[in-house]
Amino acid sequence: MSLNLFNTLSRSLEPFEPLNPTRSSVGMYCCGPTVYDYCHIGNFRTFVFSDLTRRTLEFRGFSVKHVMNITDVEDKILRRLRETDRSLRDFTNEYEKAFLEDLTELNCRMPHHLPRATEYMPQMIDLVAKLLKRGIAYQTPDGSVWFSISNYQGCGCRYGQLVKLNFDEMRPGERVSGDEYDKEAAADFGLWKARVPDDGDVFWPSPWGDGRPGWHLECSAMSTALLGPSFDLHLGGEDLAFPHHEDEIAQSEGALEYPVGQRFVKYWLHAAHLLVEGKKMSKSLGNFFTLRDLRSKGYSGREIRQLLLSAHYRETFNFTLEGLDGARSALSRIDECVAKLVGLAASQRGSPNADVLARFTEAMDDDLNVSRAWSVVFDWVRDQNRLLATGGVTSMKAADAVATWNRLDEVLGLGRRVEDSTPADAVALLDARTAAKQVRDFAHADALRNELKAMGWLVEDTPAGPKLKRA
């Protein structure tokens, strides 16, 4: 069976076939964070989903070129920046750094490229110039440049590929308020925003005067610069399908004049939103959690990841603290089982169980059906626990089981419980070894080290004293 993914473009499940089988890797772009604050757990639902997609592709043997942009110039950033006396770079740097720390905390594989919008101005200006040249964009007297949806359609292109649109309801021709009053049609969107006094020193020169790019333009420019004019997968939260992703398609397909049959992106994947206690997260409702808020309540990145991965990505996910407690106990059930198996396996190498892997793969192939995948995992844990309880696990069987878990975990990305949960008997052996070394009984110290090794622990002598590490 092949990996099937739900493509928003066709609104159906499609087998994943790389756009260009001769290319060495599959191109995957996920819209990244707007760095003006700490990311909330809703954002991380989407980012963990993109990590799961990448890991599943890699598990299936594809090599993935993963790009996630950093939106470091945008209206929301400028609004916040005005409340400070910091420079744009200094301000966005703080949140970019926090974002990368949070991704690491959630054990997400780092994207291969994390382009910052501010570093892709020439590519953005080039896209606008191409759209102007084709007559799909127009300039207004203030120096702003707009994308004309009617001219785009006039070129035979289709606007409304990801969502069905009712153009009458978009009220073309109606004037709208604020800084958008100059555009010709309400549905037209900004490509280049002319500099206004409120922008302070945040502006770039362009052939149309000083200004800054529109958010949609940023993603078209960065994705095509790094992955080429056409690439395999584009991901984001469901709120981005319209207008952000629709506008990305329009800009790219409008500017780059693809040959018939070629498109900007082959598969569009969208994650449903995360709600908290059934409601949209908002600071005023007091139900707004950043990853850091949950960490300060004592939850680990692994527990949060386990929770975020517990539901299918196209289902709206209802976050609750009780749910997080549930994830904690589910994870500790896995941890305890894996720790026992690792202890028994010592450092022997085993081979994964083909039947378990086949069932797990089949579940993930079904549009990343994690609910089915978890039931494979928990059935496996139950079976292992049953065997462990009856003493029926030889060290070789344990090594096979550890190999099975390691393979499943390439997709789940939960890793192993870290040293702070080292079992008491291992800590006691380590203390005995330290005592033996202090009295220069090196033979006994070595014997204790070997005993620890047989239990799956390596001793590392560090300047801060000896530490235990999983073998």
**Quick check: 211 binds ligand AMP (CB under 6 A)?**
no
**In whole angstroms, how close is the CB of 73 to Zn ion at the nearest point?**
13
Interaction between residue 236 and ligand AMP (CB under 6 A):
yes
> Which of residues 19, 31, 67, 364 is near Zn ion by CB under 5 A?
31
Q: From the CB of 407, what's the least distance to ligand AMP, in Å?
A: 29
Q: What binding mask, one character per residue, do residues 261-300 give for ligand AMP by CB under 6 A, x or -? A: ----------x-xx------x-------------------
CB of 422 to ligand AMP, least distance (A): 36
Q: Where are the alpha helices (DSSP H) in 346-423?
A: 354-365, 370-389, 395-412
Residue 68 and residue 223: Cα distance in Å, rounded?
A: 9
Q: Tell the smallest beta-carbon distance from residue 219 to Zn ion (Å).
A: 3
CA nearest to 245, candidates 140, 159, 357: 159
The residue assigned the tokens 């005592």 is: 435
Q: Interface with Zn ion includes 124 (CB under 5 A)?
A: no
| Burial 81-93, CB ≥16 within 10 A → b, else e | beeeeeebeebbe
Q: Which segments of 129-188 are extended strands (E)? A: 137-139, 145-147
Structure tokens, 470: 């999983």
Count interface residues toward ligand AMP (CB under 6 A). 16
Q: For residues 43 and 161, which CB has a smaller minimum distance to ligand AMP in the complex?
A: 43
Give the three-state DSSP class for 224.
helix
Phi, psi dihedrals of residue 397, rounded to the nearest 5°: -65, -35
The verdict on 33 binding ligand AMP (CB under 6 A) reads yes
Looking at the DSSP bridge assignments, the partners of residue 274 are: 317
Q: Is 31 in the site for ligand AMP (CB under 6 A)?
A: yes
Q: Which of the listed partners (ligand AMP, Zn ion, none) does 34 bind, with a CB threshold of 5 to 8 Å by partner kind?
A: ligand AMP
User: Rounded to whole angstroms, how far apart are CA atoms 471 and 459?
Assistant: 9
Interface with ligand AMP includes 239 (CB under 6 A)? yes
Name which of Zn ion, ligand AMP, none residue 219 binds, using a CB cut-off of 5 to 8 Å depending on partner kind: Zn ion
- Our finding on whether 401 is near Zn ion (CB under 5 A) is no
Is the CB of residue 318 less than 8 Å from the CB of residue 308?
no
| Least separation in angstroms between CB 273 and ligand AMP | 4
The distance of closest approach from Cβ of residue 40 to ligand AMP in the complex, given in angstroms and rounded to an integer, is 7
Nearer of residues 48 and 136 to ligand AMP, judged by Cβ = 48
Judged by DSSP in three states, 28 sits in strand
* 213 lies in the site for ligand AMP, by CB under 6 A: no
Q: How many CA atoms lie within 13 A of 129 on its CB side?
A: 10
Site for ligand AMP contains 66 (CB under 6 A) = no
DSSP string of 51-112, one letter each residue: HHHHHHHHHTT--EEEEE-BB-SSHHHHHHHHTSS--HHHHHHHHHHHHHHHHHHTTPPPPS
The smaller minimum CB distance to Zn ion, of residues 29 and 317, is found at 29
* Contacts with ligand AMP, residue ranges (CB under 6 A): 31, 33-34, 42-43, 45-46, 71, 236-237, 239-240, 271, 273-274, 281
* Contacts with Zn ion, residue ranges (CB under 5 A): 31, 219
